[in-house]
Structure 1
């Protein structure tokens, strides 16, 4: 049996020049955000408790809790809204095609019976309001000529809907059924976000023209604005009201978040500018915010989520981050009695996690090059990108030292350290292998066939190279020369991964034809066969520290764990470990497997042996 013990969640997907809308449920103190095809539910006071919904067929753009906190409506780039249950089984209540293009915002009516959605559409249909149970339209929304970026439902009766967007307009509708009432053109650039105060007396719009305007909630007339004194110096992307309707939180491309006091008349003055952590780079632009209970939540373009205390904004904020893109590799090692997990995504981000605690920082590298292959031991990282270079980066605790880069002439396919003397490394490219000692190339061998995977033994005396033809070539290593000893044929597809067991007595290989094989290193006989339980290519493979178990991860989203001494049929299968496929695997101890994948999440699974 394998049970999910921890999830280190991905961060929200962001795009430059656009705000993102995060929402929450004050009752359970949880927030919702989207990444790829997933909707992530996170609890602000319990960061390792994460629930993920992955049933959309397209990228999800926005998600919101119903007023009673029991249902979630989420929308995607195809214009579809799905309504599903918050609890673990995420039962689907309804699915409606609402717009013909991407949905940018949606909101529930305060009674939970209607939903309004806005975004891109054909003709003039950029906004639609409908009944949550039947999908029937509840009004006509004329008046916009371009994409509608945000919409809001008045939280008190009489109901109103306000919309705003790329045509610089703010439109006000009365209903239900909703009809156009008036249009306001007070902004001179995209209007990015509109929100009603919780008491319904006012609403506010914020725009790329750096302004925030306040309106009467009942009539839609403009009554005030945010002061330009101490105001934002860049586009304002998002706004959120305090629960008592007296203050708002705004975030901007100028990398700052501000708390404003809103007077009865509707004018706003800055009460506090929040100092957001970060180095001041492009990544630190702020694109999303939420005021929930005592938490002020901000989201940066790089995906970092920062929590401030509303009652004590001077208190040091808590920040957590993670990956935004698919994680292609991970590595686990012990560092001063903590189990450290390093994961890398192809956009060049390497994140450090501590098992049991979660996020522990990003490894800042001088060269933020893209990463294709990655391996790590306690003192060193070795990475390769799409620039034909291999980089050896010293690790000093949580810091990266100066990288040494080695150009090996073509794109690295696979890389591995010699466990007992990590200065020795084997790199494979399409046409052959390269041996490195430290930053020096010891030898490069052209093998005359297409190489797809490679591994070097823990003691450095043997290497195995896997080919496109499904053959495993075993080499003995003497100094810097490789001598072919034998060719093993069992696989029926290109080899995708090879790994030696930690004790060096066995090795395991996996192929694109979904089969894995465990071999005895001395006799080169098959030790565990019929490992044919995946339904798609095997991407990654890992051994337990005591060499008794081997785990495989596949494009079919599953992780399968085998015991070497038992038949393959007594395996443990983790179904749906990662939406989109599993790309990284490692054991952190005899009873824990760490996995990562296309969904940009890292998960820790506890294994309990079946008697």
Structure 2
């Protein structure tokens, strides 16, 4: 048995209101970079459905930047660590790790020869450092600021110059190497969010929360002009990015617009209106090849259209928070993945592209359709809202033919039929944890915190206690009947997967061991011969029901995060979700 990571439905950037998001530019023009949680996402700019993730940081990653050679990426996190790692190998091997200061890193820049780098942020004793990439030796100091530095850039041509923008509302100009502070520019009246040199090094732009974008001479630092006259935007400007030929630049603003500027005349050529909602604020942008990209506060990645500024060419959507459950629905021979995240978003995914992002309250009128694909406890909230019920926090949802839905809550079990409550089990002498409906619609199994599985027969619109409890080895964490209804799989906090055979009056067929931590999810393959489980040990196991010794382990399926949910597309395709806000597709060979 073998496995292959086939596809990654990558997370969106993790955004924070009023905080700029830096997008990393690929010098080879193929990819772009952003961060979410502890991961760095490497996304193909021509086909953003192609993505890779780097997951080696122990703390939240804040920024990532390609070396001009394209062979390495430097990424910094909230603890002040900078990791420099390889881009040419799939494993992304670590080359060097440094800690230039203690505190959140906000921006990273390289010299054009890929030998020196500048790192800035929220240090305690200092706010930035400039050093050699291969030794960490200092090549100057970043002076001129009294508060945290938000942005830094290095002139891409000789003689080198360094610029930095800070919360102290100034831009510092330095010469080097070794880099020494020369003077400050004090034209901004609020935080300076972004500073960027043009690709030819002749000019640089500074952007601030005061709505100003100032163009200066790249060699001397002298002020050349202010874009748009008095103000470039009606809101704070969070990012600017130059065109490859240095003649134009784009800017992203909290006023929910992106503007395209002619750098020589200082006038706006095009204004891209991104919407009217607060989530349409633009906090980042990138101009790479012919692509103009902006990032909304919602995390959406917008590909701008110069011929139609009121409608992007495409909008890349997805999850930005931890994904708690995933399921697969098949219709007309096509499989669609549904995933639900911590922030209440439901994604509809295909294997070729991301179709859309829906919020739970927007899907209430589609409740029946969603229930048929059986989402998990997050969709229990959706069902409850549609049925106008008031229930304690739902833990699990399971469906059966005939419009039946079982909802397991903290202290009661509810049976729904056609989205209406028809029966309730309350005043229970045990704490229900999870439930499963037999595919024939005849039986409901409820697992408890006491390590027992109660069986209830479904008789019309009611549940009848069969007076029998199956024994697990600990608190039941997940259950599932096989698709043919022949077996019941039960997992527990003692890391045991137990299979019961219905034809033998629920006799124990086998116990499976392998996980090092609590098992949280279980899913049967369509052929009923294989079973997938995931645990808090970040592992996924594929078990063979007919042979307990035949198993496949996928270690670190979502590195540094446990796998929250599993679903099969077909006998050889498995999808997984995790706290890293990504959904992954795996190919399994037996």
TM-score in same-fold range (> 0.5):
yes
Distance in 1 (alpha carbons) for counterparts of 2:222 and 2:363: 49
Other structure's SS at 2:304 match = strand
Distance in 2 (alpha carbons) for counterparts of 1:564 and 1:375: 33
Equivalent residues of 1:540, 1:585 under 8 A apart: yes
Equivalent residue, structure 2, for 1:432:
412
Equivalent residue, structure 2, for 1:334:
330
How far 1:246 moved relative to its partner? 0.6
| Residue of structure 2 aligned with 1:575, choices 539, 546, 555 | 555
| Residue of structure 1 aligned with 2:95, choices 93, 96, 100 | 93
| Residue of structure 2 aligned with 1:307, choices 299, 303, 309 | 303
- 1:109-142 CA-to-partner distances (Å, cap 9, x unmatched) read 111111101110113x101111101111111222
Distance in 1 (alpha carbons) for counterparts of 2:107 and 2:289: 22
Against the structure 1 CA distance between its residues 443 and 378, is the aligned structure 2 distance closer, same or farther, given a 3 Å change threshold? closer
Q: Gapped runs of 5+ residues in structure 1?
A: 394-402
Other structure's SS at 1:283 match = helix
Against the structure 1 CA distance between its residues 94 and 550, is the aligned structure 2 distance closer, same or farther, given a 3 Å change threshold? same
Equivalent residue, structure 1, for 2:393:
411
- 1:273-293 CA-to-partner distances (Å, cap 9, x unmatched) read 1244xx632222111111101
Against the structure 1 CA distance between its residues 448 and 304, is the aligned structure 2 distance closer, same or farther, given a 3 Å change threshold? same
Equivalent residues of 1:385, 1:411 under 8 A apart: no
Equivalent residue, structure 2, for 1:556:
537
How far 1:231 moved relative to its partner? 3.9
Other structure's SS at 1:48 match = coil
| Residue of structure 2 aligned with 1:566, choices 547, 560, 585 | 547
Q: How does 1:210-221 map to 2 (within 5 A)?
A: 210-221=211-222
For the pair 1:283 / 2:263, whether they are aligned, the reply is no
Q: How does 1:85-484 map to 2 (within 5 A)?
A: 85-87=86-88, 88-123=90-125, 125-228=126-229, 231-263=232-264, 267-276=265-274, 280-308=276-304, 317-355=313-351, 357-366=352-361, 390-392=381-383, 404-418=386-400, 420-421=401-402, 423-446=403-426, 447-479=428-460, 480-484=462-466
Against the structure 1 CA distance between its residues 335 and 280, is the aligned structure 2 distance closer, same or farther, given a 3 Å change threshold? farther
Against the structure 1 CA distance between its residues 390 and 91, is the aligned structure 2 distance closer, same or farther, given a 3 Å change threshold? closer
Q: Gapped runs of 5+ residues in structure 2?
A: none
Equivalent residues of 1:8, 1:603 under 8 A apart: yes
Using the TM superposition, name which of 20-29 and 80-89 deviates more.
20-29
How far 1:71 moved relative to its partner? 0.4
In the alignment of these two chains, the number of paired residues is 582
Q: How does 1:510-549 map to 2 (within 5 A)?
A: 510-523=491-504, 524-529=506-511, 531-549=512-530
- 1:93-119 CA-to-partner distances (Å, cap 9, x unmatched) read 110111211000010111111110111
Distance in 1 (alpha carbons) for counterparts of 2:234 and 2:293: 20
Using the TM superposition, name which of 144-153 and 329-338 deviates more.
329-338
Distance in 2 (alpha carbons) for counterparts of 1:157 and 1:312: 39
- Runs of 4+, deviation exceeding 6 Å: 310-315, 380-383
Distance in 1 (alpha carbons) for counterparts of 2:3 and 2:48: 22
Equivalent residues of 1:230, 1:270 under 8 A apart: no
Distance in 2 (alpha carbons) for counterparts of 1:490 and 1:314: 58
How far 1:28 moved relative to its partner? 4.5
How far 1:340 moved relative to its partner? 0.8
Other structure's SS at 1:187 match = coil
Distance in 2 (alpha carbons) for counterparts of 1:560 and 1:375: 32
Other structure's SS at 2:48 match = strand
How far 1:384 moved relative to its partner? 5.2
Equivalent residues of 1:331, 1:376 under 8 A apart: no
Instruction: Give the alignment's TM-score, normalised by structure 2.
Output: 0.94
Kindly report the root-mean-square deviation, in angstroms, between the aligned alpha carbons of the 2 structures. Answer: 2.2
For the pair 1:586 / 2:589, whether they are aligned, the reply is no
Other structure's SS at 1:210 match = coil
Equivalent residue, structure 2, for 1:81:
82
